Every structure is written in C-alpha cells, then in structure tokens.
Amino acid sequence: MNLILFIIVILISFIIVRIGAIAFQLTGLDHSLAEFQALSCFSGTGFTTRESELIVSNPQRRKIASALIVLGNAGLVTMIATFANSLRPGAVGTRVSLPFLKDIIPAERLPWVNLAVIMLLLLIIYKLFTHRGFIRRFTDLLRKFVLKKDMIKHVTFEELLITTAGFGVSRITIDADSPILAKTLIESKLRGYDIIVLAIVRGHETIPNPSPDTAFMLGDELICFGKLENIQAKICTAG
C-alpha cells in the first residue's frame, strides 16, 4: 500500500507544479519563468532577488507561491515517509496483489525488489511528463480547468518596467476586444502613438522585432515600449 501511495504522491506533485506554472503564467509571467517559479516554490529551493520581487509584488502570485510552498512541504514529508515504508520487507507483499511473491523472493530481498519497482515507475512517470505531445495536451486541459473554475484572474496588461515620464516596458495579451486584433503591425499604426513592439510571444514561440506585415492573433502576448497609458488605450481597449 505504501508503494502505491508513494506513486500517487509523485503524480499529484507533478500535477500541482503544472497547475502552479499555469497560474503564474496567467498572472503575466513568461512561460519558462512560470514553470521555474512553480517548481522552486513547490520544492522549497530559492530564486534570484529580481525574480522574487516579481512574485512578492503581486498579490495573486503571493497566494499561488504560498499554496505551492505549503503543498510542497506536505508532499515532501508524505513522500519520504511512504518511500521509507515501501522499502520494508512485505511492503509489496501478500496484502496487495502478489500473494505468491513471498514464495518466490526471500523476505530479505523484498526491499530491493520494491526499490526496483519504484525506480521503474519513476522512469515511466518521468518519460510521460517530459513527452512534448502529452505535456502540451495535458497543460491545455489543466489551463481550461483553471480558467473554467475562475481560480486565477487572467492578467492582460502588466507593467514590466517603468522609466520616466510615464514610459516603460509592458506585456499585453491580445483578447477578443483588442482594437488591433487581426491587424498587421503597420495597419495598427502603433508607431504613431510612440509604441514600439519589441516582441510577440505566440504559444511557445517568440517573435523578436516583428516585421510590419506580422498580424496580431488572439492570445498573442506583446512586449511593448512606449507611454503606458497609450499602450493600454490603443491595444487593450477600443478608442
């Protein structure tokens, strides 16, 4: 039973970290940074000062980080306890599903059998959760679940850096109400409002310094420099 519980805890841990990464991403963090922060919080490892400021300066991210830290500590304790108990002789014994095991393998060798089973199952789980096709579909499913349950408020505009006179760098998500949706960069006339599009993040792809004929698509994340009020007015809302 302990072996089964150990594997269940591992699977749940993978799912929690993936949900945490999705939640961080919905608050405006970059995809790779969101995954790293979720894993860091859940495992209790540290991160740089700049990245920690991105977490603690945002109320939503603080709640996500706190939940991951608490769940990570509880999961670690459970994982250690179940792992240790799984190596005891008889942990996979007659009470589970192999009543003939004790007649084939000596009791003193059962811990090594249990360890081999654990290593094999961990390898299978690792291969599964690092398979690009599976993880993409699994992440999309979890993302829809998080959005449906309204667990996290999706941020469409985030100030990344403020310089002087109201100018700065921001990240904006193109939604269905954006006035530049389906328009090309040149058609949007953003340059006329002193807005420079530095890059477009489309799914897992980043388009740096997009060309004038690049069209804006639903869900695109724009990294822009300009006057922040102009950016919000001309990209986020019609006007």
What are the pLDDT digits (tens) for 73-94? 887 777 777 766 766 655 544 4
Inform me whether the pLDDT recorded for 30 exceeds 80. no
Decide which of 139 and 158 is more confident: 139
Q: Look at the block and give the residue holding tokens 């108990």.
A: 85
Cβ atoms of 92 and 113 closer than 8 Å: yes
Locate the domains of the chain by residue range: 2-148, 157-236
**Which amino acid belongs to residue 56?**
V
The residue-averaged pLDDT of 16-23 equals 89
> If you classify domain 157-236 with CATH, what class do you get?
alpha beta
pLDDT one-digit tens code per residue, 166-192: 788 888 888 888 899 999 999 999 999
pLDDT score for 164: 67
Residue 205: partners with Cβ closer than 8 Å, 6 or more residues away: none
Give the sheet arrangement for strand 196-202, strand by strand: 157-162, 167-173, 221-227, 196-202, 205-208
Q: Residue 163: pLDDT band by 50, 70, 90 thresholds?
A: low
